[in-house]
Amino acid sequence: MDSLRKTSLVAGGCYVLTFVSIPTVALYDPVRDADYLVGGGSDTPVALGGLLETIVALACIGTAVALFPVLKRQGEGRALGFVAARVLEAAGILVGVASILTVVALRRAGAGADALVTGQALVALYDSMFLLSQSLIPAVNALLLGSLLYQSRLVPRVLPLLGLAGAPLLVAADLGVLFDLWDRLSPVTAVAALPIAVWEFSLGVYLLVKGLRPAPVTAGGPVSPDDRADQDITV
């Protein structure tokens, strides 16, 4: 197995792994109850949601680290930016997870009614971190990675076009949430996030099944100006 195929498998696997957090919308539902700290029931679903999101955070970093050695030959600045954005995304996810698990810890410690406001504030912190780390930053990732893959032709161009087209939709939806035009879990945000979700999942599956295509950036030498020009004009 050559190094390019290994890179494809690691990056593709990490991309697919980032979708394990989909159930957290339901798993975190109990903690959104205003009386969660004084209520009954199991904390296991909430803790499981935290575990899944932790896996996602690590997988986010894995996608960028795996692809960086190849992408840097197309555009080192954007490749570094993609790594930095992925690390920032992962950090934001972990801060959100920490806030949710702190609510669980307060409940287990028997904090009671005196901590209800604190618990609600921590849940609000999670929502804010989600908006930034799992909604806004993925739009930045799509622009950086999408442009690199589109120019390098390492994957079919229809895939990065999905990300490039979906990024402004996701940003628009985030602005709507920020200015209280709709809720983070509203149908509007779900529809706006769909192109980015399809882009990331399709990219992960493609990398697992087909792998990165041979291209000038994988040939082992520096990419010449002529090669860059050809990549920019070839459809």
Indicate whether 50 pLDDT > 50: yes
Does the predicted model carry a pTM greater than 0.85? yes
Indicate whether 227 pLDDT > 90: no
pLDDT digits (tens, 9 = 90+) for 26-39: 999 999 998 999 98
Looking at residue 128, what DSSP letter applies? H
Q: For residue 234, is it within any domain?
A: no
Q: For residue 235, is it within any domain?
A: no
1 falls in which pLDDT band (50, 70, 90)? low
pLDDT digits (tens, 9 = 90+) for 106-164: 999 999 899 999 999 999 999 999 999 999 999 999 999 999 999 999 999 999 999 99
Indicate whether 174 pLDDT > 70: yes
CA 21, CA 196: separation in Å to the nearest integer? 15
Q: Which of 70, 30, 9, 11 is nearest to 219 (CA)?
A: 70
Residue 77 has a pLDDT of 97
Q: For residue 49, is it within any domain?
A: yes
Domain that holds residue 43: 3-229
Q: For residue 111, is it within any domain?
A: yes
235 falls in which pLDDT band (50, 70, 90)? very low
CA 119, CA 99: separation in Å to the nearest integer? 9
Looking at residues 165-188, what average pLDDT do you find? 94
Residue 220 has a pLDDT of 56
Overall number of domains in the chain: 1
- 168-172, 180-184, 218-222, 230-234: segment of lowest average pLDDT: 230-234
2 falls in which pLDDT band (50, 70, 90)? confident
